[in-house]
Amino acid sequence: MVSLKSKILAALQSGKAVSGKQFAARYNTSVTTVGARISELRREGFAIYMNKKTDSQGRTASFYKIGAPTRRVVAAGYKALGVARR
């Protein structure tokens, strides 16, 4: 059986931006559960970003998308870990 986290990761790796509501409807779960799985994936090192989009009627929706971290984000991670420079 494929876990919810694996399904979310596969959907994100397909390159599409997906909202928490879309994940919840697709996998018959709550938005809170989706958010928890996204957090787990982030802790495992996946660069998952949340972007906001506004439609023509002024409604805002948030979408998850997987990407590559910027050099600044990687540097901050190393700094937080206390990794010494060579």
Give the range of the structural domain holding residue 47, as residue numbers without chain letter: 4-81
Q: What pLDDT digit, counting tens, does each position of 18-53 carry? A: 999 999 999 999 989 999 999 999 999 899 999 999
In a domain? residue 72: yes
- Assigned domain for 20 exists: yes
Phi-psi region of 58 (alpha: psi -120 to 50; beta: other; left: phi over 0): left
In-domain check, residue 23:
yes
Instruction: Evaluate whether residue 86 is within a structural domain.
Output: no
How many domains, the chain?
A: 1
Residue 31: inside a domain = yes
Q: What is the C-alpha separation between 56 and 49, in angstroms, rounded? A: 23
pTM equals: 0.78
CATH number at residue 30: 1.10.10.10
